[in-house]
Amino acid sequence: MDLELGERQRAFRDEARRWLTAHVPAVLPPSLETAEGFAAHRAWERTLAGGRWSAVTWPEEYGGRGASLVEWLLFEEEYYAAGAPGRVSQNGISLLAPTLLAHGTAAQRARILPPMARGEVIWAQAWSEPESGSDLASLRSTARRADGGWLLTGQKTWSSRAAFADRAFGLFRSHREEGAPPHRGLTYLMFPLDAPGVTVRPIGRLDGKPAFAELFLDEVFVPDEDVIGEPGQGWRVAMSTAGDERGLTLRSPGRFTAAARRLVALWRERSAESGGGGAGLDGALRDRVADAVIGARAYELFAYASATRPDPGGTGAATGAESSLNKVFWSELDIALHETALDLLGPFAELADDAPEAAGGGAWADGYTFALAGPVYAGTNEIQRDLIAERVLGLPRDRR
């Protein structure tokens, strides 16, 4: 057992570090949840792709580097340590791409992945509906057979990035069978957000920024080539994506180790201002700073263990359960870490991220707003705890 980097890993990390040092902008673009910020983040994706750093784990033919999971972890560590911008293409790269690589045709992969890697096509997800959140399989939007394709009708909501994105992917009810369980008869489809029949209504998140949108679909035509997997098998196809989403790739440890380092710096700074050595700050705050450091390190080491276990990409029940453990852990760590930072900021804690005097250029305020959604999306933490209790601990399946 060791944590030493091999020669190839070290070379990979050093190359990433050099490239990021040379390319990460000194001044971060505005929040990617604004029109101006979205455009700037799209441009950054192009820059990343220029160095072949936008999707390092993909095969080279699609713009990746065929990197291992450990190399991806190293890249992410460097990425966040360098203070690089958020990833506007995250939905596509971490949710849709793994699905295409597992279930898509060669033609689909060749057509969709390279423009995704270059930031030319930014993807939104279209899972939730007004009456289908945690109970996703109850969704009602339909896909009706048409000549050479499908007609989509219904309403999707809480669609992340959809206010400014180009295309979306999601599940639609395509087959009805009397008495069949709700997850049967769904189809996984992709569609353009500017297609005839699509209406996008942006929704402000908690701080008002249009981070997601409602999508109204009225007989939107989708050709057969934009179905992923077999029609009617969408649930199975999507769940392999959900497994990825709940796994490491949704939130890399590098994000938290970098944030924990910034938190320690903030704590030291505030301690110095209030009498030095932490004397002016209460011990409870110090303990919370330490817990953020410990939590980030735990998540990092947990990830190294996952990544170096034989068959880390396995899709068995164990991997699914591991992704539930991950998801609860990082989402709660993220909130605790940002709450601690805000408590250290005292009277400046309530300033919005775009207030001129917001601490750290608004990074703490924006990070806090972003973190608050963590326990909700990608399967609420209550659902995750049900899965852990039932699938790992073997407790009875009924819910009440």
Partner 1 sequence: MDFVLDRAQGEFGRTLDRMLGGAGTARTVRAWGRGDHGPGRALWERLGGLGVTALAVPEAYDGVGPLPVELAVAYVESGRHAVPGPLAETAAVAVLLTALAEGDHPRAAAAARHWLPRIASGRALVTLAAADGGPYALDADAADAVFTVAGEELWLAPGHGPVQRSSDPARRLARPRPGGEPLAHGPAVAPAVERAADWAAFATAALSLGTGLALLERTVAYVKGRRQFGRAVGSFQAVKHRLADVLIGLEFARPLLFGAAVALASDTPGRRAEVAAAKVAAGEAGYAAARAALQLHGAIGYTDEFDLSLWIRRAHALRSAWGTPSVCRARVLAG
Q: Which of 43, 101, 293, 372 binds partner 1 (CB under 8 A)?
A: 293
Quick note: the x/- pattern for partner 1 over 138-157, rule CB under 8 A, is: --------------------
Q: Does 279 bind partner 1 (CB under 8 A)?
A: no
Contact 326, 256 (CB under 8 A): no
Q: Does 298 bind partner 1 (CB under 8 A)?
A: yes
Stretch of 24-32, 187-195, 339-347, 382-390 contacting partner 1, by CB under 8 A? 382-390
Q: Does 299 bind partner 1 (CB under 8 A)?
A: yes
Q: Does 380 bind partner 1 (CB under 8 A)?
A: no
Task: Report CA-CA distances (Å) from 168 to 203, 238, 297, 324, 357.
Answer: 16, 14, 35, 25, 37
Min dist CB 198 to partner 1, Å, is: 38
Q: Is 245 a catalytic residue?
A: yes
Nearest to 210 by CA among 38, 378, 367, 43: 38
Q: Which of 110, 272, 305, 317 binds partner 1 (CB under 8 A)?
A: 305
Nearer to partner 1, 21 or 134 (CB): 134
Instruction: Give the whole-angstrom CA distance, residue 55 versus residue 38.
Output: 19
Q: Does 290 bind partner 1 (CB under 8 A)?
A: yes
3-state secondary structure 44-90: HHHHHHHCCCCCCCCCHHHCCCCCCHHHHHHHHHHHHHCCCCCCCCH
Nearest to 358 by CA among 15, 28, 9, 65: 28
Instruction: Give the whole-angstrom CA distance, residue 317 versus residue 283.
Output: 42
Q: Which of 229, 295, 367, 375 binds partner 1 (CB under 8 A)?
A: 295
Give me the catalytic one of 33, 45, 78, 245. Answer: 245
Quick note: the x/- pattern for partner 1 over 57-76, rule CB under 8 A, is: -------------x------
Among positions 316-355, residues that touch partner 1 (CB under 8 A) are 325, 328-329
Q: Which of 2, 7, 178, 357 binds partner 1 (CB under 8 A)?
A: 2
CB contact set of 264 (below 8 Å; sequence gap of 6+): 289, 293
Task: Report CA-CA distances (Å) from 173 to 150, 233, 296.
Answer: 11, 10, 40
Q: Interface with partner 1 by CB under 8 A: which residues? A: 1-6, 9, 70, 264, 267, 283, 286-287, 289-291, 293-295, 297-299, 301-302, 304-305, 307-310, 325, 328-329, 382, 384-386, 388-390, 392-400
